[in-house]
């Protein structure tokens, strides 16, 4: 017999059945401001759907029931199939329906990148792993569009808004996804050390067929219908389109060795593979594989920023919700002064991350504008470094708001915390990003000057920000080795200055000043909840939290 020993009380209820879009004031205002108001009703609809309990549950299911590799069928035939839980396919069906994989390419119009960024950001608050093949497909499309003959055979399937789960030759499918395979065991980020070789089958050169032999250490996601990979020819590293099935209908010789047992991003399958004369078609110029792939990296890096900002937003909302429903020592957590300091600091960080991701999306809208190029080429890698790094600390702090309840796997916080590191590593770790910032500035100093002048126009009446901008100029007078040693410090300064200017432009004045004053305060460090006494007023913090999460 079971008999009651206590009454369950003072437990925060699960957060569900809310609108992820309309509850985010900074996002709503940005969509209206950035030429994407035409997409607002779709975002309202999507925000409500993503906030439903059953939709949020899909993210839990996809990360509980992990992908399983079947290398052979029961007869002993090699099949190399990864099987997913139905929740994975439901999430991808939703993302394809919303056109997250192709919107600006298939429906080009002013504000299309802003609209897609906003929708991707909302989706990232539900589940991150399923966004990986969406991002890779999105980034691959503008690259493949330059291969006229090949793209003509792929366009309808790439632009399709249907998710086709079948493992079939491309000719028999209604849609397709594209993955990537760059790194090898011996090199990691140093792809110049790749040893996979490509042998021409009919003369060689751009658009011709090759046989690839070698391996890839990270191959995501192996059930995609094709992958873009790097392999070595006589002219150097080149880029290849490698389909899962050969044109003759036979399975391509891509052997999945095993799936990675990852810390997070567990719903998504990342694998190790070997190529045994695998069929591929060269894309881009021979020997120019790295510059070809870098074109994709600008898009995938931005998606890392968006995904991390989405994680931060979700963690913030969960933390504030918990604090408003949980009491300790006679008061709701959200009414306790120190907790208000922590939550307000987190809210400022989240809004600044959201504004930065949307500003970068705006830069993609104007490819020929010199200032926008500076945002794309210089600010994007810096943002990828900074926002993805901040997401690690941010999700950990939000988990701590929940206390022990946040440290268990049947609640939302633990998965977000495990998810946070992947964006710092994927598409280039922090050091790679910071060095790329310096390379971009050295290559295009006039673009960097345009960027600084633009920031100065915003900061003209703010002495502290003008001083930071002057420091950015003086930092580049150091020797190359000194610049490299201090590259993280430079990228951090660039990001805080940029975010401060964006807050000045768009946030309510008191909230913008709270962000700037705290980020210029040497005593306000990387630990959240250290806003000074001038900022730690109850009225200001209540305004910050009401703006961040009115629910």
The average pLDDT across 270-299 equals: 94
Confidence category of residue 536, pLDDT binned at 50, 70, 90: confident
DSSP state of 6: -
Residue-level pLDDT at 272: 98
Query: Which of residues 254, 272, 287 is at a domain's end?
Result: 287
Answer yes or no: do 396 and 481 share one domain. yes
Q: Is 1 within a domain?
A: no
Structure tokens that stand for 148 in this block: 């006229």
Confidence category of residue 510, pLDDT binned at 50, 70, 90: very high
Confidence category of residue 2, pLDDT binned at 50, 70, 90: confident
Residue-level pLDDT at 524: 79
Residue-level pLDDT at 190: 87
Residue-level pLDDT at 101: 98
Length of the chain: 551
The whole-chain average pLDDT of the chain stands at 96
Q: Is 13 within a domain?
A: no
Residue-level pLDDT at 293: 86
* CA distance linking residue 422 with residue 254, whole number of Å: 25
pTM of the model: 0.97
Q: How many domains would you assign to the chain?
A: 3
The beta-carbon contacts of 541-545 under 8 Å, at least 24 apart in sequence, are 541/340, 541/341, 541/343, 541/344, 542/340, 543/508, 543/510, 543/511, 544/344, 544/347, 544/348, 544/511, 544/514, 545/320, 545/334, 545/340, 545/343, 545/344, 545/347
CATH of the domain at 224: 2.40.110.20
pLDDT tens column, 147-192: 999 999 999 999 999 999 999 999 999 999 999 999 999 988 888 8
> Could you write out the DSSP letters of every residue in 43-61?
HHHHHHHHTSHHHHHHHHH
Answer yes or no: do 277 and 350 share one domain. no
Answer yes or no: do 181 and 305 share one domain. no
CATH of the domain at 448: 1.20.140.10
What residues does 226 pair with on adjacent strands? 178, 243
Q: Is 513 within a domain?
A: yes
* CA distance linking residue 17 with residue 55, whole number of Å: 10
Residue range of the domain that includes 96: 25-159
Answer yes or no: do 299 and 278 share one domain. no
Percentage of residues in the chain having pLDDT higher than 70? 100
Q: Is omega for the bond preceding 116 within 30 degrees of 0, making it cis?
A: no
426 φ/ψ angles, rounded to the nearest 5 degrees: -65, 140
Confidence category of residue 257, pLDDT binned at 50, 70, 90: very high
Answer yes or no: do 433 and 384 share one domain. yes
pLDDT tens column, 96-148: 999 999 999 999 999 999 999 999 999 999 999 999 999 999 999 999 999 99
Query: Which of residues 159, 182, 202 is at a domain's end?
Result: 159
Q: Which burial class, exposed, middle or buried, applies to 511 when counting CB atoms under 10 A from its CB (0-12, 13-18, 19+)?
A: buried
Residue-level pLDDT at 297: 87
Strands (E), 1-77: 68-72
Q: Is 240 within a domain?
A: yes
Answer yes or no: do 64 and 143 share one domain. yes
Query: Which of residues 287, 306, 330 is at a domain's end?
Result: 287
Residue 525 has pLDDT above 80, yes or no: no
Confidence category of residue 267, pLDDT binned at 50, 70, 90: very high
Contact 82, 68 (CB under 8 A): yes
Q: Is 263 within a domain?
A: yes
């Amino acid at each position: 017999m079971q008999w009651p020993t206590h009454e369950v009380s003072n437990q925060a209820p699960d957060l569900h059945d809310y609108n992820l879009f309309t509850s985010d004031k900074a996002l709503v205002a940005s969509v209206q401001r950035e030429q994407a108001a035409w997409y607002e009703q779709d975002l309202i609809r999507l925000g409500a759907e993503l906030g439903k309990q059953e939709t949020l549950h899909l993210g839990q299911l996809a990360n509980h029931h992990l992908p399983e590799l079947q290398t052979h069928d029961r007869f002993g035939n090699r099949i190399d199939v990864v099987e997913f839980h139905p929740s994975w396919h439901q999430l991808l069906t939703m993302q394809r329906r919303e056109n997250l994989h192709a919107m600006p390419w298939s429906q080009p119009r002013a504000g299309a990148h802003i609209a897609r960024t906003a929708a991707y950001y909302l989706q990232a608050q539900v589940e991150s792993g399923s966004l990986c093949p969406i991002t890779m497909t999105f980034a691959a499309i503008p690259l493949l569009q330059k291969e006229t003959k090949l793209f003509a055979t792929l366009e309808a399937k790439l632009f399709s808004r249907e998710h086709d789960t079948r493992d079939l030759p491309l000719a028999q499918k209604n849609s397709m996804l594209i993955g990537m395979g760059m790194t090898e065991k011996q090199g990691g980020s140093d792809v110049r050390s790749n040893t996979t070789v490509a042998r021409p089958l009919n003369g060689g050169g751009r658009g011709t067929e090759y046989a690839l032999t070698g391996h890839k250490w990270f191959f995501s996601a192996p059930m995609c219908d094709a992958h873009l990979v790097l392999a070595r020819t006589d002219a150097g590293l080149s880029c290849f389109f490698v389909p899962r099935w050969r044109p003759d209908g036979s399975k391509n010789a891509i052997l999945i060795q095993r799936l990675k047992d990852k810390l997070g991003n567990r719903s998504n399958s990342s694998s190790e593979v070997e190529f045994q004369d695998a069929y591929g078609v060269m894309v881009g110029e021979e020997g120019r594989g790295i510059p070809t792939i870098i074109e994709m990296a600008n898009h995938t890096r931005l998606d890392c920023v968006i995904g991390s900002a989405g994680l931060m937003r979700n963690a913030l909302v969960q933390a504030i919700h918990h604090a408003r429903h949980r009491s300790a020592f006679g008061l709701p957590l959200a009414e306790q002064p120190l907790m208000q300091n922590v939550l307000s600091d987190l809210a400022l960080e989240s809004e600044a991350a959201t504004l930065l991701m949307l500003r970068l999306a705006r830069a993609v809208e104007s490819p020929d504008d010199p200032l926008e190029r500076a945002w794309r080429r210089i600010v994007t890698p810096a943002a990828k470094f900074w926002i993805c790094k901040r997401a690690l600390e941010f999700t950990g702090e939000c988990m701590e708001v929940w206390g022990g309840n946040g440290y268990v796997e049947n609640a939302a916080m633990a998965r977000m915390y495990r998810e946070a590191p992947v964006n710092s590593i994927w598409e280039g770790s922090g050091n790679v990003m910071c060095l790329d910032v310096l390379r971009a500035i050295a290559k295009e100093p006039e673009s960097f000057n345009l960027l600084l002048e633009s920031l100065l126009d915003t900061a003209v009446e703010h002495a502290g920000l003008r001083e930071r901008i002057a420091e950015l100029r003086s930092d580049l007078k150091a020797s190359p080795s000194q610049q490299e040693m201090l590259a993280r410090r430079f990228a951090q300064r660039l990001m805080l200055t940029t975010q401060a200017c964006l807050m000045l432009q768009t946030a309510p004045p008191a909230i913008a000043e709270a962000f700037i004053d705290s980020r210029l305060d040497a005593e306000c460090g990387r630990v959240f909840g250290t806003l000074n006494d001038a900022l730690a007023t109850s009225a200001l913090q209540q305004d910050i939290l009401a703006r961040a999460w009115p629910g």
